[in-house]
Amino acid sequence: MSTLDSKIPEGQLSEKWTKYKSSQKLVNPANKRKLDVIVVGTGLAGSSAAASLGALGFNVKIFCISDSPRRAHSIAAQGGINAAKNYQNDGDSVERLFNDTIKGGDYRAREANVYRLAEVANSIIDQGVAQGIPFARDYAGLLDNRSFGGSQVSRTFYAKGQTGQQLLLGAYSALSKEIKAGTVEMYERREMMDLVVIDGQARGIITRNLQTGELERWSSHAVVMATGGYGNVYFLSTNAMECNGSAAVQCYHKGAMFANPCFVQIHPTCIPVKGEYQSKLTLMSESLRNDGRIWVPKNIEDAKAIREGKLNPTTIKEEDRDYYLERRYPAFGNLVPRDIASRAAKERCDAGYGVGAGFAVYLDFKTAIERLGRDKIQERYGNLFQMYEKIVDVDPYQNPMMIYPAVHYTMGGLWVDYDLQTTIPGLFATGEANFSDHGANRLGASALMQGLADGYFVLPYTMQNFLADKIHQLRVSIENQEFDDAEKSVREKLESIMAIKGEKTVDTLQRELGHIMWEYVGMGRNAEKLTKAIPMLADLRKEFWSNVRVTGDMTSMNPELAKALRLADHIELSQVMAKDALQREESCGGHYREEYVTDEGEARRDDENFMFVGVWEYKGEGQEPIMHKEELNYEFINVQQRNYK
Amino acid sequence: MDFTLKIWRQENQKAKGRFETYKIKDISPDCSFLEMLDILNESLVNKLSHPICFDNDCREGICGMCGLYINGRPHGPDDAVTTCQLHMRKFEGVETITIEPWRAKPFPVIRDLVVDRTALDKMIQEGGYVSVSTGGVPDGNAIPIAKHKADQAMDSASCIGCGACIAACKNASAMLFVGAKVTQLALLPQGKPEAAIRVQKMVAKMDELGFGNCTNTYACEAECPKEIKRSNISRMNLEFILAKIVSEETI
């Protein structure tokens, strides 16, 4: 495929989606029943899409990697969801939410998609309320808001520190209703193993039953990938253990192009790493930056004394603290976007001012507790404080929290057009699995917004537009050549992994991958590190295929085998990430190239040469992938240097 | 820290299970319980054995996927935490740790410490929702909800569906789980129209799936990692009685 057609409708930005909806093709109810849709993934994006498509009357099958949709990692989102309701009368509007999101993404997102996102966001709040989500209320009984990074208005709706949980349970309840009604069939403990493409159209998938090891075939008229992101290539991340980019890689192998793989979000407020045995990192919600103040000691000797355990941070005087975000970015202070807050923390720690084991900064609630009282802080963040105390064994009401950046979200993903369709007809991608809305950096409280916008309000329209042309297309049998071939190749892959019987465990190799990615393709990148990473990853790939040790068997529950399969795909994806990071000779959003900075040490974008989406095409085993460009044309927004000062 | 671990091993649902004993050494007190099991599993793989299967996912106490019965308590000795949030520092002075799966008839063992909890979803599917489809709903602020009601509903809604309440109960009763959902929706105006039918259907399903009746010992409340209160059970009982006596809608 040589051209990437983003299929953005003509006309004014604010009219594109309305026009699209009024002119798209529809499918009548009798025909909907004849059309099958497969949804892979049950997080916000998958559950909301399956529920909405099921309610419309399509036959939906949904596949869940865990025992229940409620386990999906959307559940862990803490802080909130954005919408431009302007309930606070603080000047918010769809235009402002659009502007903030584009600017937050450092002008690397597609204008029309982001505008549509901002436009439909309000409906998500209404939908959630109707579902019975207990959003926070004020004393008048109306919806309450808080602020998040990268914005000067209060537009974030929340349910304590468990907004993701409540929104996911809302989508799960909508899904449960459809399962009961029989419009959606649910298959739990299944992992996608391959995409089946027939005559150039996505027509089904191969799954592996994680309980029995059995390979299964499923056919459909269209497939939706709602499989989340690939942050776990870094081994340590805030992602759940089951999160993986494997399904996306399978689609990439089958011809779906992968966009901006190097755009990874490093979240500034996570609990720091404590030991070699650590399996994952825990996020402390960005909402904490509403009231918490970030600092390190002003004097390097104090930082040293703290690290050696000789000094207690609470005894450090106000004038000896460096509230570096407030100092560097007075307009946004502690609420600068995530990429900026992360880099600033790294900068201080690299300069020797880090606390804890040297890789941590303080997030302090002393001022807020004095101002608002302990009860108010407890009401706002109680569960987060409890979580911190359970993990670190330190009471955050008495002592400042320690935080450090960690991998959190991947803005890159499967390339999609305005319809959220990938480069394979009939294959759609939504939520974190696609790339379209967050550019080079995602603003806080926007992931929930995007996953649900796609699932509830975009896909039901755009997929219908696609399926309207398929009403005469008969169901395909799963007993045909393409399914045979796909299943055979999956079986061979499984057998070859089992046959290696090498020396290194999957976890060992995964840690090695994580180490390479964090050190060389992490927060601070440069050509030298990236050039080193590429052969290191190639070596690791060879080592995996010759030296991995997977015990147990293929015909029962075997988590080691499942992890090994994902790791194989993660190594390959990491190679593309490193290549993409190397070609992008600029700093933008989460992608920070140390060679491309301003005199003040801020990221320096290169709009002239890099205002495009890097879209990677798989060319076969052993071949180098090729990068295509989707040029970003900003027709309606005034592109500026990001300035949060 | 050094421990002797007695862990339930069972190949599949039909196989006979047994306890196996493992020794583990030099565990950091800051290590989480599941990370301790990761270390054990890595050593089992190195010895060419099949690692121990246990469910886990988010490892931050919110997905409800993990759940081990540790020394006789669901989610172990610490209060208000899931297994993944439990840290080895809580085992100071403990030599032997016994680890079992959830034990309840409606939760058959899949392998080792993994059980099938799809029964929880089946109860929700009976009406643990507001029957609203996508679109066509009023503005969020068109439905004012008193703050204390919204807060109370949030407390009930914070259930993570781990099943500890059922594992803790000697009758394997699911009344705290079902009660939390019934209460959340009964407190909110959005849930009112279906309240009577919801509670009847969910209770009927609960009985059908083989969950027992409430023992009134409140082990469920004591072991709930999210501290869901037993008043949710009272509320469910009230809703149930009202539905049976006053409501015109019966199932």
Q: For chain B, positions 198-237, list CB contacts with chain A under 8 A.
A: none
- Confirm whether A415 is domain-assigned: no
> Are A211 and B51 within 8 A, CB to CB?
no
CB A596 within 8 A of CB A381: no
Assess whether A386 and A508 both reside in one domain.
Answer: no
Residue B34 amino acid letter: L
B78 touches chain A (CB under 8 A): yes
Q: Rounded to a whole number, what is the distance in Å from the CA of B67 to chain A's nearest CA?
A: 13
Q: Would the pTM of this model clear 0.95, i.e. be above it?
A: yes
Q: What is the pLDDT of residues A60-115, one digit of tens each?
A: 999 999 999 999 999 999 889 999 999 999 999 999 999 999 999 999 999 999 99
Residue A156 and residue A372: Cα distance in Å, rounded? 20
* Structural domains of chain B in order of their starting residue, each with its CATH number: 3-111 (3.10.20.30), 118-245 (1.10.1060.10)
Q: Rounded to a whole number, what is the distance in Å from the CA of B27 to chain A's nearest CA?
A: 9
Q: Which of A190, A321, A338, A442 is catalytic?
A: A338
CB A179 within 8 A of CB B125: yes
Q: What is the pLDDT of residue A1?
A: 45
Facing residue for A134 by CB, picked from B78, B134, B153:
B153
- Confirm whether A508 is domain-assigned: yes
- Confirm whether A330 is domain-assigned: yes
A541 carries an active-site annotation: no
> Are A55 and B129 within 8 A, CB to CB?
no
- Chain A hits for B58, Cβ within 8 Å: 71, 73, 75-76, 240-241
Assess whether A402 and A529 both reside in one domain.
Answer: no
For testing contact with chain B, the best of A237, A280, A454 (most B CBs within 10 A): A280
- Chain B hits for A69, Cβ within 8 Å: 121
Low-confidence ranges of chain A (pLDDT < 70): 1-2
A559, A560, A610, A580: which is closest to A517 by C-alpha?
A: A580
Q: What is the pLDDT of residues B138-160, one digit of tens each?
A: 999 999 999 999 999 999 999 99
Q: What's the number of domains chain A is made of?
A: 2
Q: Could you tell me what percent of chain B has a pLDDT over 70? A: 100
A138 touches chain B (CB under 8 A): yes
Q: What is the pLDDT of residues B32-89, one digit of tens each?
A: 999 999 999 999 999 999 999 999 999 999 999 999 999 999 999 999 999 999 999 9
Chain A's closest residue to B81, CA to CA, is A390
Q: What is the pLDDT of residue A413?
A: 98
| Cα–Cα distances in angstroms (integers) from residue A38 to residues A195, A336, B51, in the given order | 11, 39, 33
pLDDT band at residue B1 under the 50/70/90 scheme:
very high
CB A30 within 8 A of CB A46: no
A240 touches chain B (CB under 8 A): yes
- Confirm whether A441 is domain-assigned: no
Q: Rounded to a whole number, what is the distance in Å from the CA of B28 to chain A's nearest CA?
A: 9
Facing residue for B185 by CB, picked from A132, A135, A160:
A132
> Are B50 and A558 within 8 A, CB to CB?
yes
List all residues 6 or more positions away from A65 whose beta carbon is below 8 Å from its beta carbon.
A41, A42, A189, A190, A191, A210, A242
Q: How far apart are the first and last CA of chain A?
A: 43
Q: How far is CA A26 from the centre of its chain?
A: 31
- Chain B hits for A184, Cβ within 8 Å: none
**Which tokens go with A594?**
């140390």
Assess whether A275 and A387 both reside in one domain.
Answer: yes
* CATH number of residue A541's parent domain: 1.20.58.100
Q: What is the pLDDT of residue A383?
A: 82
pLDDT at B103 over 80: yes
Q: What is the pLDDT of residues B75-102, one digit of tens each?
A: 999 999 999 999 999 999 999 999 999 9
- Confirm whether A315 is domain-assigned: yes
| pLDDT (mean) for B169-197 | 97
Give residue A576's domain range: 486-610
Helix (H, G, I), strand (E, B) or coil at A217: strand
pLDDT band at residue B247 under the 50/70/90 scheme:
confident
> Are B150 and A135 within 8 A, CB to CB?
yes
Assess whether A275 and A390 both reside in one domain.
Answer: yes
- According to DSSP H, which parts of A312-446 are helical? 324-328, 338-348, 366-372, 374-392
- Confirm whether A498 is domain-assigned: yes
- Confirm whether A287 is domain-assigned: yes
> Are B191 and A132 within 8 A, CB to CB?
yes
Q: What is the mean pLDDT of chain B?
A: 96
Q: Of A368, A383, A406, which residue constitutes the final position of a domain?
A: A406
Q: Of A360, A377, A406, which residue constitutes the final position of a domain?
A: A406
A395, A435, A441, A378: which is closest to A591 by C-alpha?
A: A441
Q: What is the pLDDT of residue A152?
A: 87
Kindly provide the b/e burial profile for residues A72-99, where b requires at least 16 CB atoms within 10 angstroms of the residue's own CB: bbbbbbbbbbbbbbbbeeeebebbbbbb
A66 touches chain B (CB under 8 A): yes
> Looking at this predicted complex, what is its ipTM?
0.98
Assess whether A375 and A282 both reside in one domain.
Answer: yes
- Confirm whether A355 is domain-assigned: yes
Helices A163-181 and A111-131: angle between axes, nearest 10 degrees: 80
| Cα–Cα distances in angstroms (integers) from residue A321 to residues A103, A329, A338, A354, A364, in the given order | 31, 16, 22, 12, 11
* CATH number of residue A370's parent domain: 3.90.700.10
